[in-house]
Amino acid sequence: MKDLSRRQRAILQFIESFLDQNDYPPTIRDIQRDLDISSTSVVDYNLKVLENRNHIRRNRNISRGIELVGRVNHRNVIAIPVIGQIAAGLPIPVPGDLEQADSAETVEVGADFAPNAGRDLFALRVKGHSMIDALINDGDVVVLRQQVTCENGETVAVWLRDEKETTLKRFYLEGERVRLQPANMTMEPIFTPANNVEIQGRLVTVLRSVV
């Protein structure tokens, strides 16, 4: 892995920084110019080495056909629109016209953290400490999948009609009533009639940026 010449390392590094600054890969001549290499063939030669060493992938006969192996590429990342806040006393904002929300803030998440991502994901910023029992803190961002039903055991955001309250709990339908179980195992569940529970979405991901 380390058997690269100084020039090859420089090329690799240039490609990385180029990709950081542009949304397209560099051309051979971009590389040549930046590194003051006398000929494109030299660049080509070294790119071939890098390709064999599996540091890059090349699409022949395609301009800018250089891809970095093992790099963050958009494919692994999805952007989820943050459409509002979630708090104990407030109903959850309706995901409504997610598509048009061009200007909306987004959070980016690795695909691992948003399995089966589709257009039905949306994110909310948590206000207040009411969801401590779900191990969710003030300021966290929760990603939800929009759905109005759920399987037993799934963690969902529900609106409790009587209490006029939003909460995040594991959902278990037990006959006529529903058991809402906090993620924190040391805490007690809530029992409530099934028709008091309105499912707003299923919890997919929690993101916390510690200050």
Interface residues with DNA (CB under 7 A) are: 5-8, 27-30, 37-42, 44-46, 49, 58, 60-66
Is 95 a binding residue for its own copies by CB under 8 A? The answer is no
Question: Rounded to an integer, what distance in angstroms lies between the CA atom of residue 127 and that of residue 134?
Answer: 14
Nearest residue (CB) to its own copies, 46 versus 205: 205
Which pair of structure tokens corresponds to residue 98? 């997610």
Does 177 interact with its own copies (rule: CB under 8 A)? no
**Contact region for its own copies (CB under 8 A) — 33-41, 87-95, 188-196, 197-205?**
197-205
Which of 49, 54, 47, 16 has the alpha carbon at shortest distance from 32?
47
Distance from C-alpha of 136 to C-alpha of 130, rounded to nearest angstrom: 8
Strand partners, 126: 86
Least distance to DNA, CB of residue 23, Å:
13
Q: How far is the CB of 169 from its own copies (least distance, A)?
A: 12
Which range binds its own copies by CB under 8 A, 3-11, 45-53, 62-70, 157-165?
62-70
Helix or strand or coil: residue 124? strand
Options 48, 103, 130, 209, the catalytic residue: 130
- ∠ at Cα 106 (104, 110), nearest 5°? 160
Q: Is 130 one of the annotated active-site residues of the chain?
A: yes
Q: Which listed residue (110, 147, 151, 193) binds its own copies by CB under 8 A?
A: 110
DSSP conformation letters of 9-25: HHHHHHHHHHHHH-SSP
If one asks whether residue 210 binds its own copies (CB under 8 A), the answer comes out as: yes
**How many CB atoms are closer than 10 A to CB 204?**
21
First to last CA, the chain: 37
Residues at the site binding its own copies, with contacts judged by CB under 8 A: 1, 19-25, 27, 59, 62-65, 67-68, 70-79, 100, 102, 106-113, 115, 129, 132, 135-137, 155, 183-186, 203-210
Active-site residue numbers?
130, 169
